[in-house]
Amino acid sequence: MIMAPFIRVILAGFMALTFGKGAAISAEPEKIAASEPPAVTEFMGRTVAQTMHSAGANWLMRHDREQEEAGVLMRQKLDLKPGMVICDMGCGNGYHTFPMAKAVAPDGKVYGVEIQEPYLKMLDEGAKKNGVTNFIPVLGLTYDPKLPEGVMDLILLVDVYHEFDHPAEMLAAMRRALKPDGVLVFVEFRAEDASVPIKPEHKMSKAQLTKELTGNGFKLVKQFDELPWQHMMWFGKNAEH
């Protein structure tokens, strides 16, 4: 979802009042209007899907999500360790964020990036409810996740990349945020499987995902094919790019 500049200014101010000094990372609103690149509706032969609005957050916590997505197994495959610095990109209301925060505690950190302010309110409440203190909420932009450079061991993107309307800019920004051996992990509904009951624009094929990532400075390093409905693919930096 692309927010008008004046709305972003209001949200940035609201974030400062809501979360307090240093609680959330956000963009500098006065610089947004002049620097925002144009959004795209197609990317490398793929139609970009519309972003799910925060009003649909209950779907992220549906009772059968574990059965459909095997989130516990997915997180186990991330092989998280205490002390890691990771990011849950497009983290919604924290379905994966808080279990991952506990996995990297006590010295690790989890950045949770969202572009919709209501999600950050949910995340703040969820962190308190779950007793999570190593979580950093980030109010990102559609073209810049506002992550620090060179510190991420892993950036997880669950069913979110296909909605990026600035995919090239986001891939470049995430690449900068990774450590030299850091990885992006994509979990996307399988476009190759017609039995997966998800709208086509919210699915991605392995071939399409690989084409986009290798064309933007990454290389495929690992895959896991045993999730019920989704691909799980790891991409590291391509040093030759």
Q: What is the pLDDT of residue 55?
A: 54
Number of alpha carbons in the 13 Å side-chain half-sphere of residue 85 = 12
Tokens at residue 64, please?
Answer: 């059968």
Three-state SS annotation for the chain = CCCCHHHHHHHHHHHHHHHCCCCCEECCHHHHHHHCCCCCCEECCEECCCCCCHHHHHHHHCCCHHHHHCHHHHHHHCCCCCCCEEEEECCCCCCCHHHHHHHHCCCCEEEEEECCHHHHHHHHHHHHHHCCCCEEEEECCCCCCCCCCCCEEEEEEECCHHHCCCHHHHHHHHHHHEEEEEEEEEEEEECCCCCCCCCHHHCECHHHHHHHHHCCCEEEEEEECCCCCEEEEEEEECCCC
Residue 240 in this model has a pLDDT that exceeds 70: yes
Residue 161 in this model has a pLDDT that exceeds 90: yes
Please state, rounded to an integer, the average pLDDT across all residues of the chain: 86
Mean pLDDT to the nearest integer, 106-120: 94
Residue 14 in this model has a pLDDT that exceeds 70: no
Tokens at residue 32, please?
Answer: 């947004």
Asked whether the beta carbons of 120 and 19 are under 8 A apart, the reply is yes
Q: In the chain, pLDDT over 90 holds for what percent of residues?
A: 73
Q: What is the pLDDT of residue 22?
A: 37
220, amino acid identity: L
Task: Read off the pLDDT of residues 25-76 as tens digits, 9 standing for 90 and up.
Answer: 555 444 444 578 999 999 999 999 988 655 554 645 556 888 899 999 999 9
Mean pLDDT to the nearest integer, 206-217: 98
Task: Read off the pLDDT of residues 31-45 as tens digits, 9 standing for 90 and up.
Answer: 444 578 999 999 999
Q: Which residues contact 93 (CB under 8 A, 6 or more apart)?
A: 57, 60, 61, 119, 122, 123, 126
CATH superfamily of 44-237: Vaccinia Virus protein VP39 (3.40.50.150)
Residue 20 in this model has a pLDDT that exceeds 70: no
Helix axes 5-19, 117-130, angle to 10 degrees: 20
Residue 15 in this model has a pLDDT that exceeds 80: no
Domain locations in the chain? 44-237
Given pLDDT bands bounded at 50, 70 and 90, which one contains residue 171?
very high
Residue 188 in this model has a pLDDT that exceeds 80: yes
Q: What is the pLDDT of residue 13?
A: 36
Residue 8 in this model has a pLDDT that exceeds 80: no
End-to-end CA separation in angstroms for the chain = 30
Q: Which of 182, 155, 24, 162 is nearest to 97 (CA)?
A: 155
Residue 208 in this model has a pLDDT that exceeds 70: yes
Q: What is the pLDDT of residue 74?
A: 98
Regarding predicted confidence, which is higher, 10 or 148?
A: 148
CB neighbour class for 93 (10 Å; exposed up to 12, middle 13-18, buried from 19) = buried
